[in-house]
Homo-oligomer: A and B are copies of this chain.
């Protein structure tokens, strides 16, 4: 394990700040009911070095402190921390290696998004809010199990050609990405909300579609005017 003291001061400073931010964002996962027990994780890539900060494995959310957050390199190898990194670290690391514009990744098993994933069915874009945030349906990624790069590869291959910051990995659950960990957490909250809303709409009958050119206008405006993507 590398000694953190070997890194330049600005890297050490960014690590300290990022540990605070990533810890605080895990509280958002519980606030918006996206996780149960320890079943979700947030990471953020550093700008000053090829490192990421991620949740430790198996620590309960109400006990997480910034110091518990783990530092790994972009192969998922532990660099600093008192705990093992999350068991999903390999998937986060794969995303950072293959999507250089991405600095935040979130994984949850939030109820409604995971239900669509269990069906292997994309969430159709029937809400203006989905046009804004996702620019179309929320896509489904392949079935892949933990242990090699297949989860990371499934995420990257699905999202690379999509405007959606969220993918529903089949039988597994949502992964979301963003330019910051906060943006990825927002996407995790939004994908659960639209998964729930469209589920309810579908139980009532067939939701009304939104024409593709209107979805395009919503998404263009949202990402241009607000620059929130």
Contacts and interface: CB of A to CB of B under 8 A. Distances in A.
A129 interface: yes
Contacts of A170: 208
A100 interface: no
A4 interface: no
Contacts of A128: 145-146, 171-173
Give the size range of A's interface with the partner: 35 or more
A127 B146 contact: no
Interface in A157-180: 170-173
Given A36-B193, A57-B226, A115 B200 contact: yes
Interface in A50-83: 57-58, 62
Given A111-B196, A128-B171, A197-B114, A119 B189 contact: no
A-B complex: 3 closest residue pairs judged by Cβ atoms: A115-B200, A118-B201, A115-B201
